Amino acid sequence: MFPEQASTFAPEVDHLLYFLLGVSVFFTVLIFGALFYFAIRYRRRSEQELPAVVHGGMALEILWTVIPFGLTMIMFTWGASIFFRESRPPNNAMNIYVVGKQWMWKLQHQEGQREINELHIPVGVPVKLTMTSEDVIHSFFVPAFRTKQDVVPGRYSTTWFTPTKPGKYHLFCAEYCGTKHSGMIGWVYVMERKDYQDWLSGGRAMGSLAENGEKLFMSLACGNCHHPDGSGRCPSLVGLYNSNVRLSSGNDIHADEAYIRESILQPNAKVVAGFQPVMPTFQGLVTEEGVLQLIEYVKSLSQTPAATPAVNTNAPLTPSATPTPKR
Ligand code: CUA
């Protein structure tokens, strides 16, 4: 009846579901029982029978208003508390990027590993997914984690979970996205931490996301204008991520992933105060995966070495490798 429980959210979601099912079954039985009982007990016994007129009872009215109100408020607060926690990834979560397209899931680890329709993650570690789509709306659904989040073109959506059990779990697309929607499936492999480290070290030659982002940054000649010391025609990107930016409109904006993405694809949407709108758009020149690599590079410019996550390795740059923004 129920998929396996393999994340910290799974038992919580199930308990709420059991409660909803219990309340529904109780009232279904109560209402239909009363319906049949009253239909028989107060049936019309002769052609001439006219029942006495009843003008309602205040106690009954209050009772059947207050009880359902209380029950629905319990459902609301319980559901909202799970929803809020599922919407807020913890700061120490491992960041993995997801790009959906007709009809596959493309995943990138910060260390550089790329996967298609497969996701390898360690057990017991919170994992945050930052997701976007290249074409239409998809939905990232792992029943064993009780996680389902729409993946929308043109914006980033996030979800997170902490897997609790090593194993192999179904990954589905849960939003009808065209002919082969039903084939847009895959597997999530939850591994022991040591196995995950071994798996991770298998693909280091490709370079980390930030390193690939740096190569892309160079090949697109972004550095011609974005000088690190701020002397260029465009703002310095050092320390940009997670900072507050004053715009030429006079407003401030928090420099998150969505802002950096927009500034690459629609540079003139939000121009930094004191600068001219001279940057050309990179729409069509950079794939969504390339944008994510550039974002990781910009993020890396804001990190002191000590602040980088423990899973990051100081793998040497491989100058021979070329940037590979695959479509
Ligand atoms: Cu992608 Cu359905």
Report pLDDT digits (tens) over 62-106: 998 999 999 999 999 999 999 999 989 998 899 999 999 999 999
pLDDT at 98: 93
**What is the rounded distance in angstroms from the CA atom of residue 270 to the CA atom of residue 186?**
38
- For the chain, state the CA radius of gyration: 27
DSSP β-bridge partners for residue 98: 107, 131
156: buried, middle or exposed (CB in 10 Å: 19+, 13-18, 0-12)?
A: buried
Nearest-atom number in ligand 1 for the CA of 178 is 2
pLDDT at 205: 61
Distance 74 CA to ligand 1 centre (A): 34
Distance 181 CA to ligand 1 centre (A): 4
Task: Report residues whose beta carbon is within 6 angstroms of any ligand 1 atom.
Answer: 100, 103, 138, 173, 175-177, 181, 184
**Torsion (CA) 11, 16, 17, 18 in degrees, nearest 10:** 90
Which amino acid, residue 47?
Answer: E
Which tokens hold the place of 96?
């993995």
Which residue puts its alpha carbon closest to atom 1 of ligand 1?
138
Nearest-atom number in ligand 1 for the CA of 102 is 1
Q: Are 290 and 108 within 8 A, CB to CB?
A: no
Q: What is each CA distance from 147 to 87, 203, 256, in whole angstroms? A: 10, 28, 23
Distance 188 CA to ligand 1 centre (A): 17
pLDDT at 250: 83
Distance 179 CA to ligand 1 centre (A): 9
pLDDT at 317: 37
Alpha helices (H) along 49-177: 58-87
Nearest-atom number in ligand 1 for the CA of 177 is 2
pLDDT at 327: 41
Distance 126 CA to ligand 1 centre (A): 25
Is the N-terminal amide bond of 187 cis, ω within 30° of 0?
no
- 221-285 in CATH: which number? 1.10.760.10
The model's pTM is 0.72
pLDDT at 260: 86
Q: Are 298 and 237 within 8 A, CB to CB?
A: yes
Spell out, as residue ranges, where the chain has pLDDT lower than 50. Answer: 306-327
Distance 303 CA to ligand 1 centre (A): 36
Nearest-atom number in ligand 1 for the CA of 181 is 2
Nearest-atom number in ligand 1 for the CA of 103 is 1
pLDDT at 325: 45
Q: Are 248 and 271 within 8 A, CB to CB?
A: yes
Distance 153 CA to ligand 1 centre (A): 12
